C-alpha cells in the first residue's frame, strides 16, 4: 500500500514496498485488515450511535465516512449531500478526503470514485491513512513518534517481562504474551495469574488478552487468534491498529493518575493549612480567654487590711509568675510561629493570606498581652504599697495604745480630785497650799496637752489609712478627748473656787513650793524620756537607724545636767525633813503643792538610767538588721548588673544575625539554634535572681541604689529575649523555605537583605510604608508619576501587608521580590484535573472520586463539594468547578 501512504511515513513504508505489494494479494491479510479496521471504525462510530457491517460497502455514500472523521477529530465537517445519486456520493467522499488532506496527509492514487465503487484495496488504504493520522501519528516516546514511538512504548512497558521480546508488529505478538504483558503492566488486577501463562499456549493467551481488553478496557475484539497463530507473518497494520488502542486506553489512565496526584497534592496542602488555621484559632481563643480571666484578678484591689492576708496574696502572685504565666508565654510565641508559617505556606501555594477571626489577630493578642503585663505591674506595686501601709498601721496602732495607756494612767482619779470640796474646811495656810497644788496641777495638765494632741493625730492617721479596727480606735480617742474637756472645765471651776477663798487663806511653804515647781517639769521630762526610750520605731535604711543612734547619743549628753537638777529637787525634800526634825513639826511633811513624792522621782530617775543601756541594745540590733538588708541589696545588685547587660547583648546579637547575617541561611539558623541553647542554659541565673528578689521582698526591702535594674525589668527583658530568638529562628526557617521553593541564589538573598537592612533605620526588622517604597526604588522598581504611581504602590502595599499592620516584614518583602519565580498550582489547573477524572463532564460523581483519589481525600472532596445544578446533571452529581475556585478564594476560617 505504499502508493497511498501519507508523506511523513514514506521512509518506513518505502523499505517494505515489495512486501506490501505481495501482501495485497494475500486474502488472509486482506481479511485481517477488513476485520480489524471495521472494529476500529465501529469503536468510534458507536459514540455517534451507529456502526458499519461491510467496510467497502458502508462507506460508499460518504455519510458514515464523514461521521467517522467528525468523531475522531472532534471537528465539524461541511454539511453532507443527502441525495442518493452517484454524484452526491462522490461529493461526500471528496469532502472527507479534503478534510484528511487538510490535516497534513498527502493522499496518493486514492480518488472518490474508487471509494464510491467499493474498491476494497482503496477503502482499506484510506482507513489505514486515517488510523495513522489520528491514532498513531501523535504517539511520542523519547523523541520517537508514530510507528517507532508506538514500538518503543511497547518495548518500555514489556521490558520487565522476561518471556516477552517486542521487536516488530507482526511475529513478536504471535504467542499473545505481549498483549497480556501490556494489560498486566497497567492493570495487574485484570490478569492476576500472568506468571502461569505459557509461551506454547498462544490461543489461551490471545483469547485472554482480547476478552479482557474488550470487557474491562472497552477495546473491541479487532483480531482473531486463528489469523495471528496460523499466519507466518500476521498483518502489521492490523496489529498496530489494535496495539494503538492499548496505548490510548492506558495513556488515559496515566492522565487520570496525574490528575489525581495533582488534586491530592493541592488537597494535602489545603488540609495542612486548615489544620494550622484551626490550631491558631484554638490557641488564640485559649490564650485570650486566659488573659481575660487573669486581668480582673490582677486588677482586684480588695483589701482585708491584715498583714498575713496581704502576704498570702503576694505569694499567690509569685506562683502566678513562676508557674502559670511561662506556659502562656510559650503559647504566645507558638501562635506567632504558626501565623508566620501559615502565611508563608499560603503565599507559596498561591493562596490568599490568612485572616484570623475578629479579635484574634497577632496584634490583638500582643495588645492583650501588654494589658496583662500592665495589670501585673500595677498589682505588684499595689501589693508592696499595701504591705508598707499595713506595717505602718500596725506600728501606729501599737503606738496609739501605748500613749493612751500612759495618758489614762495619768488621768485616773483626776476628775474626783478636781470635784473635791476639801478647801471649804481648811485654814489659810492649807488653802494656799491647795491653791499652789492646783497651780502645779494646771501646769501638769498643760504639759499633757501635747500628749493628747499626739493621741488624736495618731487616731486621725489611722482613719486616713483605713485601719481595720478604726471603730475601737475612734471610740477610745473620743473618750480621752471628752475626758480632757471635762478635766479642763473642772480645773477652771476649782481654780475659781480657790481664788474666792484666797483672800482668807495665805500660807506658803517655800520648800514645798520650790519642790513642786521643779519636780513637776522634771517629772514630765522623765515621763517623756521614758516614753522616748521605749518608743517603737520603723526604719528602712542604715541612714535612718544611724539618725536614731545619733539622737540617742545626744540625749545621753544631757544626762549630767539632768542629774544636777535631780539632786537640786531632792535637796528641797531633804531641807523639809531637816526642818521637820529640827522643829518637830506635824502635818508639814506632806507637800501641799504636788502629789509627786521624792520616792516617785527617785524611782523614775532610776528607771531612766536603766532604760538608756536597753535602748542602746535595741538600736544596735536594728543596725545589724539594716546591715543584713544592705547585704541583700548588694547581692541582688551584683547579680542583676551581670544578667542585665548579658540579656541586652544577646538581644543585640539576635537582631544583628537577623538582618546582617554572614554566610548562608543555614549558617545563620545554626547560630540562632546555638544561641537559643545558650539562652536556655542561662535560665538558672534568672532563677537565682528570683531567689534573691524573694529574700529582699520578704525582708521588706524596697529601694536599691546599687543597681539600675529591677526584677520586673529583667523579667520583661528575659521574656522579650525568648520571644525574639523564637521569632528570628522562625523567620530564617521561612526564608529557607522560600529560597528552596523559589530557587533563589544565596547571593540574591544577601542583596535583598542588605537593601532591606539599609532602609531599616530603627532596626525593628520591619519597614514603614515610605521606607519600603524607597527600598523598592533602590532595587530598580519604577513607579509612574502622580496618582497612578500612588495607586500602584497602594496595591503593592496591600499584597505585602494584607492585614494592614502598618509595616512590611523582611519575609513579606522577600516574597514580593521573588513572586514570579514560583511554579504554583492555580484554580484553572485544578479544574482541568477534575475534568480529566470526570471524563470531560462538567460534574463528577462520588464513585469517580472514590475510584481515582485516596479514601481520606475523596471523602474530603465529597464533604465539601456542592451539588451540581446544571441541566445535564444526574442524581448525586457534584460541582467540582465551584470547589476548585473556593480552594483559591477565601477560607471558611
**C-alpha cell of residue 613:** 543601756
- Phi first, then psi: give them for residue 645, nearest 5 degrees: -60, -35
Whether 475 maps to a domain, the answer reads yes
Q: Which of 265-269, 540-544, 749-753, 816-820 has the lowest mean pLDDT?
A: 816-820
Whether 586 maps to a domain, the answer reads no
CA dihedral (104, 110, 113, 118) in degrees, to 10, reads -110
Whether 847 maps to a domain, the answer reads yes
In whole angstroms, how far apart are CA 464 and each of 457, 481, 639? 10, 19, 40
Provide the pLDDT for residue 718: 92
- Phi first, then psi: give them for residue 873, nearest 5 degrees: -80, 165
Residues 6+ apart with CB under 8 A from 576: 509, 511, 512, 515, 588, 589, 591
Provide the pLDDT for residue 891: 37
Provide the pLDDT for residue 12: 35
Provide the pLDDT for residue 258: 65
CA atoms of 253 and 245, how far apart (whole Å): 13
Does 178 lie in the same domain as 311? no
Question: Residue 321: in which H helix or E strand, if any?
Answer: none
Whether 542 maps to a domain, the answer reads no
Instruction: Round the average pLDDT of the chain to a whole number and report it.
Output: 81
- The answer, yes or no, to whether residue 445 has pLDDT greater than 90, is no
Does 174 lie in the same domain as 77? yes
CA atoms of 517 and 534, how far apart (whole Å): 27
Residue spans of alpha helices (H) in 349-361 = none
In whole angstroms, how far apart are CA 272 and each of 351, 497, 561? 13, 105, 94
Which of 734, 767, 792 terminates a domain? The answer is 734
| Residue 533 CA from chain centroid, whole number | 63
Which of 734, 764, 779 terminates a domain? The answer is 734
The DSSP-derived string for 492-527 is HHHHHHHHHHTTT-----HHHHHHHHHHHHHHHHHH
Average pLDDT over residues 263-274: 83
CA atoms of 475 and 469, how far apart (whole Å): 10
Provide the pLDDT for residue 503: 58
* Span 546-604, pLDDT tens digits: 888 888 888 889 889 888 888 988 888 787 777 667 755 455 567 777 888 888 888 98
Average pLDDT over residues 479-493: 89
Nearest CA to 438 out of 481, 480, 483, 500 is that of 500
* Span 321-348, pLDDT tens digits: 888 889 988 988 988 898 899 888 888 8
Secondary structure (3-state) at 386: helix
CA atoms of 220 and 52, how far apart (whole Å): 14
Provide the pLDDT for residue 19: 32
65 and 96 Cβ atoms separated by less than 8 Å: yes
Does 434 lie in the same domain as 373? no
Which of 792, 820, 848 terminates a domain? The answer is 820
Q: What is the CATH number of the domain that holds 874?
A: 1.10.238.10
Given pLDDT bands bounded at 50, 70 and 90, which one contains residue 269? confident
Does 172 lie in the same domain as 240? yes
- The answer, yes or no, to whether residue 2 has pLDDT greater than 70, is no
Given pLDDT bands bounded at 50, 70 and 90, which one contains residue 13? very low
In whole angstroms, how far apart are CA 709 and each of 388, 639, 640, 693, 813? 22, 10, 6, 12, 37
CA atoms of 318 and 675, how far apart (whole Å): 28
Angle at 828 between CA 825 and CA 832, to 5 degrees: 100
* Span 201-218, pLDDT tens digits: 898 888 988 899 888 888
Question: Residue 683: in which H helix or E strand, if any?
Answer: helix 683-698
- The answer, yes or no, to whether residue 502 has pLDDT greater than 90, is no
Provide the pLDDT for residue 475: 92
- The answer, yes or no, to whether residue 23 has pLDDT greater than 70, is no
Residues 6+ apart with CB under 8 A from 133: 6, 100, 103, 104, 105
Rg (CA), the chain: 56
Which residue has 500472568 as its cell numbers?
194
Provide the pLDDT for residue 97: 84
131 and 138 Cβ atoms separated by less than 8 Å: no
Neighbours of 855 (CB within 10 A): 8
CA atoms of 510 and 498, how far apart (whole Å): 19
Provide the pLDDT for residue 680: 92
* Span 834-867, pLDDT tens digits: 888 888 888 999 888 888 888 888 899 999 899 9
**367 lies in which domain range?**
266-389
Does 481 lie in the same domain as 461? yes
Whether 153 maps to a domain, the answer reads yes
Give 15-24's long-range contacts (Cβ < 8 A, gap of 24+).
Answer: 23/235, 24/121
Percent of the chain's residues with pLDDT above 70: 90
Does 667 lie in the same domain as 803? no
CA atoms of 177 and 165, how far apart (whole Å): 9
Q: Which of 82-96, 595-609, 688-702, 712-726 has the lowest mean pLDDT?
A: 82-96
- The answer, yes or no, to whether residue 44 has pLDDT greater than 80, is yes
- The answer, yes or no, to whether residue 254 has pLDDT greater than 70, is no
Given pLDDT bands bounded at 50, 70 and 90, which one contains residue 477? very high
What are residue 546's DSSP bridge partners?
none
CA atoms of 874 and 766, how far apart (whole Å): 55
Query: Where is pLDDT greater, at 61 or 500?
Result: 61
Whether 654 maps to a domain, the answer reads yes
Does 429 lie in the same domain as 336? no
Does 200 lie in the same domain as 122? yes
What are residue 141's DSSP bridge partners?
144
Does 163 lie in the same domain as 128? yes
* Span 710-737, pLDDT tens digits: 888 988 999 988 898 898 888 888 878 8
Does 486 lie in the same domain as 433? yes
User: Count of alpha carbons within 13 Å of 684, Cβ hemisphere only?
Assistant: 3
Average pLDDT over residues 45-70: 82
Given pLDDT bands bounded at 50, 70 and 90, which one contains residue 636? confident
CA atoms of 681 and 205, how far apart (whole Å): 73
Question: Residue 277: in which H helix or E strand, if any?
Answer: helix 236-299
- The answer, yes or no, to whether residue 504 has pLDDT greater than 70, is no
412 secondary structure, DSSP code: T
User: Count of alpha carbons within 13 Å of 108, Cβ hemisphere only?
Assistant: 10
- The answer, yes or no, to whether residue 5 has pLDDT greater than 70, is no
Residues 6+ apart with CB under 8 A from 26: none
Secondary structure (3-state) at 81: coil
User: Residues 95-113, buried b or exposed e (16+ Cβ, 10 A)?
Assistant: bbbebbeeeebebeebebe
Does 338 lie in the same domain as 190? no
Are β-strands 140-141 and 878-879 bridged in parallel, bridged antiparallel, or unpaired? unpaired
CA atoms of 181 and 166, how far apart (whole Å): 11
Q: What is the CATH number of the domain that holds 324?
A: 1.20.58.60
Given pLDDT bands bounded at 50, 70 and 90, which one contains residue 383? confident
Does 201 lie in the same domain as 113? yes
Whether 175 maps to a domain, the answer reads yes
CA atoms of 177 and 191, how far apart (whole Å): 11
User: Count of alpha carbons within 13 Å of 200, Cβ hemisphere only?
Assistant: 0
Question: Residue 69: in which H helix or E strand, if any?
Answer: helix 63-73
Are β-strands 866-867 and 878-879 bridged in parallel, bridged antiparallel, or unpaired? antiparallel
Whether 614 maps to a domain, the answer reads no
Residue spans of alpha helices (H) in 300-425 = 307-319, 325-348, 362-411, 414-419
* Span 798-833, pLDDT tens digits: 888 888 888 888 777 777 777 644 445 577 888 888
**C-alpha cell of residue 624:** 545589724
Nearest CA to 61 out of 97, 95, 86, 98 is that of 86
Given pLDDT bands bounded at 50, 70 and 90, which one contains residue 108? low
Provide the pLDDT for residue 507: 42
- Domains held by the chain: number: 6
291 and 371 Cβ atoms separated by less than 8 Å: yes
Average pLDDT over residues 84-99: 81
CA atoms of 43 and 218, how far apart (whole Å): 9
Average pLDDT over residues 38-50: 84
User: Residues 578-612, buried b or exposed e (16+ Cβ, 10 A)?
Assistant: eeeeeeeeeebeebbbbbbebeebeebbeebeeee
In whole angstroms, how far apart are CA 98 and each of 77, 122, 750? 10, 16, 63
727 and 656 Cβ atoms separated by less than 8 Å: no
This prediction has a pTM of: 0.42
- The answer, yes or no, to whether residue 510 has pLDDT greater than 80, is no
- Residue 839's region, left for phi above 0, alpha for psi from -120 to 50, else beta, is left
Amino acid at each position: 500500500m505504499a502508493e497511498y501512504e501519507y508523506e511523513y511515513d514514506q521512509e518506513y513504508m518505502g523499505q517494505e514496498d515489495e512486501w506490501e505489494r505481495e501482501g495485497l494479494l494475500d486474502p488472509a491479510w486482506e481479511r485481517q485488515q477488513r476485520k480489524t479496521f471495521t472494529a476500529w471504525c465501529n469503536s468510534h462510530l458507536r459514540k455517534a450511535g451507529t456502526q458499519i457491517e461491510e467496510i467497502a460497502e458502508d462507506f460508499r455514500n460518504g455519510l458514515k465516512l464523514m461521521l467517522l472523521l467528525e468523531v475522531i477529530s472532534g471537528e465539524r465537517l461541511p454539511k453532507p449531500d443527502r441525495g442518493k445519486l452517484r454524484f452526491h456520493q462522490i461529493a461526500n467522499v471528496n469532502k472527507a478526503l479534503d478534510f484528511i488532506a487538510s490535516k497534513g496527509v498527502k493522499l496518493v492514487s486514492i480518488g472518490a470514485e474508487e471509494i464510491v465503487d467499493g474498491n476494497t484495496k482503496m477503502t482499506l488504504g484510506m482507513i489505514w491513512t486515517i488510523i495513522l493520522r489520528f491514532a498513531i501519528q501523535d504517539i511520542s516516546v523519547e523523541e520517537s513518534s508514530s510507528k517507532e514511538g508506538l514500538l518503543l512504548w511497547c518495548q518500555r512497558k514489556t521490558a520487565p517481562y522476561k518471556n516477552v521480546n517486542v521487536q516488530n508488529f507482526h511475529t513478536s505478538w504471535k504467542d499473545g504474551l505481549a498483549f497480556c504483558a501490556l494489560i498486566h503492566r497497567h492493570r495487574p488486577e485484570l490478569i492476576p495469574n500472568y506468571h502461569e501463562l505459557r509461551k506454547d499456549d498462544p490461543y489461551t493467551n490471545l483469547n485472554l488478552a482480547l476478552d479482557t481488553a474488550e470487557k474491562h478496557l472497552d477495546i473491541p475484539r479487532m483480531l482473531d487468534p486463528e489469523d495471528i497463530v496460523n499466519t507466518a507473518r500476521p498483518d502489521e497494520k492490523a496489529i498496530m491498529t489494535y496495539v494503538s488502542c492499548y496505548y490510548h486506553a492506558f495513556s488515559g489512565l496515566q492522565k487520570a493518575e496525574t490528575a489525581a496526584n495533582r488534586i491530592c497534592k493541592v488537597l494535602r496542602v489545603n488540609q495542612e493549612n486548615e489544620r494550622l488555621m484551626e490550631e491558631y484559632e484554638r490557641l488564640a481563643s485559649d490564650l485570650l480567654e486566659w488573659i481575660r480571666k487573669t486581668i480582673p484578678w490582677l486588677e482586684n484591689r480588695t483589701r482585708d487590711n491584715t498583714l498575713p492576708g496581704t502576704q498570702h496574696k503576694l505569694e499567690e502572685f509569685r506562683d502566678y509568675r513562676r508557674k502559670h504565666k511561662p506556659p502562656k508565654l510559650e503559647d504566645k510565641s507558638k501562635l506567632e510561629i504558626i501565623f508566620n508559617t501559615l502565611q508563608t505556606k499560603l503565599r507559596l501555594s498561591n493562596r490568599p493570606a490568612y485572616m484570623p477571626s475578629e479579635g484574634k489577630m497577632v496584634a490583638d493578642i500582643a495588645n492583650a498581652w501588654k494589658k496583662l503585663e500592665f495589670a501585673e505591674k500595677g498589682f505588684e506595686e499595689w501589693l508592696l504599697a499595701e504591705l508598707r501601709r499595713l506595717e505602718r498601721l500596725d506600728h501606729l496602732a501599737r503606738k496609739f495604745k501605748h500613749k493612751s495607756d500612759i495618758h489614762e494612767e495619768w488621768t485616773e482619779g483626776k476628775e474626783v480630785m478636781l470635784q473635791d470640796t476639801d478647801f471649804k474646811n481648811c485654814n489659810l495656810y492649807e488653802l494656799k497650799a491647795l491653791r499652789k497644788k492646783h497651780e502645779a496641777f494646771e501646769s501638769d495638765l498643760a504639759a499633757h496637752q501635747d500628749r493628747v494632741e499626739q493621741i488624736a493625730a495618731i487616731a486621725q492617721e489611722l482613719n486616713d489609712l483605713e485601719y481595720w479596727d478604726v471603730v475601737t480606735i475612734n471610740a477610745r480617742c473620743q473618750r480621752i478627748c471628752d475626758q480632757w474637756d471635762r478635766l479642763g472645765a473642772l480645773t477652771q471651776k476649782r481654780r475659781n473656787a480657790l481664788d474666792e477663798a484666797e483672800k482668807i487663806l495665805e500660807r506658803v511653804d517655800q520648800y514645798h513650793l520650790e519642790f513642786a515647781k521643779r519636780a513637776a517639769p522634771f517629772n514630765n521630762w522623765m515621763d517623756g524620756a521614758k516614753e522616748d526610750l521605749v518608743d517603737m520605731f520603723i526604719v528602712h535604711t542604715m541612714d535612718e537607724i544611724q539618725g536614731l543612734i545619733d539622737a540617742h547619743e545626744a540625749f545621753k549628753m544631757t544626762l549630767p545636767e539632768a542629774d544636777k537638777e535631780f539632786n537640786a529637787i531632792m535637796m528641797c525634800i531633804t531641807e523639809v525633813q531637816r526642818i521637820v526634825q529640827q522643829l518637830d513639826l506635824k502635818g508639814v511633811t506632806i507637800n501641799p503643792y504636788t502629789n509627786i513624792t521624792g520616792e516617785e522621782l527617785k524611782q523614775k530617775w532610776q528607771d531612766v538610767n536603766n532604760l538608756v543601756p536597753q535602748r542602746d541594745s535595741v538600736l544596735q540590733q536594728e543596725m545589724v538588721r539594716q546591715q543584713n538588708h544592705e547585704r541583700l541589696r548588694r547581692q541582688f545588685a551584683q547579680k542583676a548588673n551581670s544578667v542585665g547587660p548579658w540579656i541586652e547583648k544577646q538581644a543585640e546579637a539576635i537582631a544583628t544575625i537577623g538582618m546582617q547575617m554572614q554566610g548562608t541561611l543555614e549558617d545563620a539558623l545554626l547560630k540562632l539554634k546555638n544561641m537559643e541553647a545558650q539562652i536556655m542554659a542561662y535560665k538558672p541565673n534568672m532563677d537565682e535572681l528570683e531567689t534573691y528578689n524573694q529574700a529582699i521582698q520578704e525582708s521588706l526591702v524596697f529601694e536599691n541604689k546599687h543597681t539600675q535594674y529591677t526584677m520586673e525589668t529583667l523579667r520583661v527583658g528575659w521574656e522579650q529575649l525568648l520571644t525574639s530568638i523564637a521569632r528570628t529562628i522562625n523567620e530564617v526557617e521561612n526564608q529557607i523555605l522560600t529560597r528552596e521553593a523559589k530557587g533563589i541564589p544565596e547571593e540574591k538573598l544577601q542583596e535583598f537583605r542588605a537593601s532591606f537592612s539599609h532602609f531599616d533605620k530603627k532596626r525593628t526588622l520591619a519597614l514603614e510604608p515610605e521606607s519600603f517604597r524607597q527600598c523598592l526604588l533602590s532595587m530598580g522598581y519604577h513607579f509612574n508619576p502622580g496618582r497612578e504611581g500612588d495607586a500602584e504602590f497602594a496595591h503593592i502595599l496591600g499584597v505585602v501587608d494584607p492585614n494592614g499592620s502598618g509595616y512590611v516584614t523582611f519575609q513579606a518583602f522577600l516574597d514580593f521580590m521573588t513572586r514570579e519565580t514560583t511554579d504554583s498550582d492555580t484554580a484553572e489547573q485544578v479544574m482541568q484535573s477534575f475534568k480529566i477524572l470526570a471524563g470531560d463532564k462538567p460534574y463528577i460523581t462520588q464513585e469517580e472520586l472514590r475510584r481515582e483519589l485516596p479514601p481520606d481525600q475523596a471523602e474530603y472532596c465529597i464533604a465539601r463539594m456542592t451539588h451540581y445544578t446544571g441541566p445535564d446533571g444526574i442524581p448525586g452529581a457534584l460541582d467540582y468547578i465551584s470547589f476548585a475556585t473556593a480552594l483559591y478564594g477565601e477560607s471558611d476560617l
